[in-house]
Amino acid sequence: MSWLKKLTEGLKKTSSSAKSKLSGIFIGKKIDADTMESLEEALISSDLGVSASQKIVKEFEKNYSGKTSDQEELLEALSKSISNILEPLEKELIVSDDHHPHIMMLVGVNGSGKTTTAGKLAKRFSQQGKKVILVAADTFRAAAIEQLKGWAEKTSVELISAERGADPAALVYQSIEKARIQKTDLILIDTAGRLQNRIELMEELAKIVRVIKKLEPEAPHDSLIVLDGTVGQNALSQLKAFLDVAAITGLIMTKLDGSARGGVLVALAEEFGLPIHLIGVGETAEDLQDFNAMAYSRALLGLTLED
């Protein structure tokens, strides 16, 4: 199955929910103030957020107020408005040759898919010919270390880990020193999942960042938050909590196939304006792909995607 088909399938729960909320608004009616109000409510309840929804409705009103159009045309117009919000944030995740090594750190709450994403990124970049080290900086969870070990074996990349309960910042320090000696292209650091309200865990994350900067003042070159697409509006408070502590540079959203809440990516884009690098709609490495604003916007509303 092609990626576009997977994306359409993966966002089916979201698109079915959004279309059912929108369908009754447009059918056989002249577009007026009541239509606009209903449209705004439908977009907000589809997790697009208040600010983004208002922006989309304002543009829609300018172009369609007083007109009667078929539903497909109006969905196309909505898709275009959503894409306009997202397109400036579409950014490929690359390993720069200017950094030796390039340091990527993954952060997020428990269960967001960080460890799996680290493994998938290791596969992606090793297939591009990069020399990769995976760092199991989640030293509290034996399962995370085992999971990364499996990815390291599958992708033939080196894994650096420590005994359970070891200091993750010390492990990261050792990893960077080793990477310099080995002329490694990329260090991928999987940090422990932590709730945003656990102050001591956030302080530990800040310590990891300080240690990285001690060795590489401009690093981490990418500090990526991995967000679970099933949590809806909670993703906003998660991002807000990690933003300052980990100096977030971009986001990856996983599990978009898991619920009808895929619209939250629009709310995140509008509120934070951070680059969106990749989205995931499945378990395999191939199910995590570069974010494409137009493809996502069309799939979000159940519109046709051409391969």
Three state DSSP letters for 149-214:
HHHHHHHCCEEECCCCCCCHHHHHHHHHHHHHHHCCCEEEEEECCCCCCCHHHHHHHHHHHHHHHH
> Rounded distance, CA 122 to CA 102, Å?
13
- For residue 297, being part of any structural domain is answered with no
For residues 150 and 275, membership in a common domain is answered with yes
Position 84 pLDDT exceeds 80: yes
Tell me which residue range forms the domain holding 181: 102-291
For residues 113 and 161, membership in a common domain is answered with yes
Predicted confidence band at 41 (pLDDT cuts at 50, 70, 90)?
A: very high
For residues 109 and 85, membership in a common domain is answered with no
- Of 28, 62, 89, which marks where a domain is finished? 89
For residues 160 and 268, membership in a common domain is answered with yes
The confidence score (pLDDT) of residue 165 equals 87
- For residue 24, being part of any structural domain is answered with yes
pTM: 0.94
Identify the residue whose tokens are 């906003």. Answer: 236
Predicted confidence band at 196 (pLDDT cuts at 50, 70, 90)?
A: low
pLDDT tens, residue by residue, 273-296: 999 999 999 888 889 999 999 999
- Of 61, 89, 117, which marks where a domain is finished? 89
- For residue 262, being part of any structural domain is answered with yes
- Of 60, 89, 118, which marks where a domain is finished? 89
The confidence score (pLDDT) of residue 76 equals 92
- For residue 298, being part of any structural domain is answered with no
- Nearest CA to 48 out of 26, 25, 81 is that of 81
The CATH number given to whatever domain includes residue 194 is: 3.40.50.300
What is the tally of structural domains in the chain?
2
